[in-house]
Amino acid sequence: MLEIKNLHANVGDKEILKGLTLTIETGKVHAIMGPNGSGKSTLSYVLAGREGYTVTAGSITYNGEDLLALKTEERAAKRIFLAMQYPVEIPGVTTMNFLKTALNAQRRARGESEYDAISILKLVRAKARVLQVNEEMLKRALNVGFSGGEKKRLEILQMSLFEPKLAVLDETDSGLDIDALKLVAEGVNALRSPERSMLVITHYQRLLDYIVPDRIHVLANGRMVAEGGKELAHELEATGYGDLGKVPA
């Protein structure tokens, strides 16, 4: 469902991705591991279409469509979701209002009817319970004053609400203690489905004990350097990224 071929991408003048190739299959959970600075987050931003992340060569095909020709919000409407490492705060905008605005914007873009406030409230409440996101959180301004765990749970709640076909989880484990991590991982696992692909980006193997991937790819210095099954995570845990990082550029 997603084919990345020979992708080169710059941030500013600096080339970060240097010929990355990756195929993600429908309904599978792929994990990308790699050391700091290897280009993991850059890949997630390129997939989402963030301004300032420029593709200089290569292609990305998403369900047969040229992904790079789509605007950021069009990709969202076509069900690409990025759970962010650092969810931003938007003062004065309640979480509930944000969820409603975003969901309706996506639905409108897909030519679907919009939900009224009450239907959305019902929908969100049902999904929120699983993730222990309470009413009070939904009434607070988006991410303002939220703990690290609350922010990540809210990201997963949005993933659940927007029903993506491709969900990219960027360092979802960062800043979480073990209980919070378990809760988030349960939320993610509940969303695994034959129609949904996931790309889990992480520095540590720890997350992959709870979200067990179908495939693991190792990214170093802007390109894929290794690939394997779920056992690869534990091998990396033992050997570290040391050798892989030294692949000639």
Among 20, 43, 84, 166, binds another protein (CB under 8 A): 84
Q: C-beta of 74: minimal distance to another protein in Å?
A: 9
Cβ atoms of 56 and 43 within 8 Å: the answer is no
Q: How far apart are CA 174 and CA 189, in angstroms?
A: 18
Q: How far apart are CA 95 and CA 137, in angstroms?
A: 7
Among 41, 42, 95, 158, binds another protein (CB under 8 A): 158
Q: How far is CA 55 from CA 3, 82, 109, in A?
A: 15, 18, 25
Cα four-point dihedral sign 104, 109, 110, 113: positive
Q: How far apart are CA 238 and CA 3, in angstroms?
A: 30
Among 114, 195, 235, 243, binds another protein (CB under 8 A): 114
Is the Cβ of residue 161 or residue 236 nearer to another protein in the bound state?
161
Q: Among 86, 108, 88, which Cα is nearest to 98's?
A: 88
Residue 91 makes contact with another protein by CB under 8 A: yes
DSSP run (H or E) holding 58: strand 53-62
Residue 131 makes contact with another protein by CB under 8 A: no
Is the Cβ of residue 109 or residue 247 nearer to another protein in the bound state?
109
Residue 6, helix vs strand vs coil = strand
Among 87, 149, 175, 245, binds another protein (CB under 8 A): 87
Among 7, 22, 58, 100, binds another protein (CB under 8 A): 100
Q: Which amino acid is at 216?
A: I
Is the Cβ of residue 83 or residue 244 nearer to another protein in the bound state?
83
Residue 233 makes contact with another protein by CB under 8 A: no
Give bridge partners of residue 59 from the DSSP assignment: 5
Are β-strands 53-62 and 65-66 bridged in parallel, bridged antiparallel, or unpaired?
antiparallel
Is the Cβ of residue 94 or residue 174 nearer to another protein in the bound state?
94
Residue 212 makes contact with another protein by CB under 8 A: no
Q: Which stretch binds another protein (CB under 8 A): 18-26, 85-93, 124-132, 209-217?
A: 85-93
The contact set with another protein (CB under 8 A) reads 48-52, 71-73, 75-77, 81-82, 84, 86-94, 97-98, 100-106, 108-109, 114, 117, 141, 158, 162
